[in-house]
Structure 1
Amino acid sequence: MQYKVYPPTTLRTTVHLPASKSISNRALIINALSLSTLPLKNLSDCEDTRVIIDTFNSNSNIFDVKAAGTAMRFLTAFLAGMEGEWIIRGSKRMHERPIHPLVDALTALGAEIEYLEKEG
């Protein structure tokens, strides 16, 4: 049996994704990078997602990511590409988690990142 499949000329649909932390955090960063004004729905209610939302809604240049490791990494990369001076802080536990591989990669790409406390 042979057959041909032709796509529609216009496809109008909505994609409903689960409220996972992984998808929510990536969707928030992509939405911000695209300068989209479209609201995101059905986002995860985890700490990482709340931290990213709070950061994007803040008028400050100092952000507390608490113990949210995904938010720390995503926001470090995101803010490295934004004009301005930013400070990202975290919980005591976050100070024990390695960030230097990401910082090294970003500085190799031209970002200027300075450790305010213990390096790495």
Structure 2
Amino acid sequence: MAGNMGWGVIEEEGWRKGPWTSEEDRLLILYVKFHGEGRWNSAARLAGLKRNGKSCRLRWVNYLRPDLEKGQITPQEESIILELHARWGNRWSTIARSLPGRTDNEIKNYWRTHFKKKIRAHFS
């Protein structure tokens, strides 16, 4: 039976859940540095992480990649998001390709917190 002690519990399957530690981040960064991205299930196992491949991929893509752009979305990026959303709708990964260093998840969250309410109010 899996323990239920909150975050950081290792489940029956052996996967660790909850926030990533700095040591786990370090192991994943080192693994990707030497072996590259891809084959995330193998990466998790070979890096010595008790995480599943999907968790490793998302951690890398959304938080650890060295080319990630951190910080506020600029007014220029905002206008690109508006223009591309008008063209493609909620195709966040397609929009993200036009904003180097920004993730699809970051753009989606920005849209939902900054624009969705304004648009709804405008058309009400």
Q: Which has the higher contact order (CA 8 A, sep 6+)?
A: 1
Normalization by structure 2: what TM-score? 0.28
Normalization by structure 1: what TM-score? 0.29
Q: Larger % of helix: which?
A: 2
Q: Larger % of strand: which?
A: 1
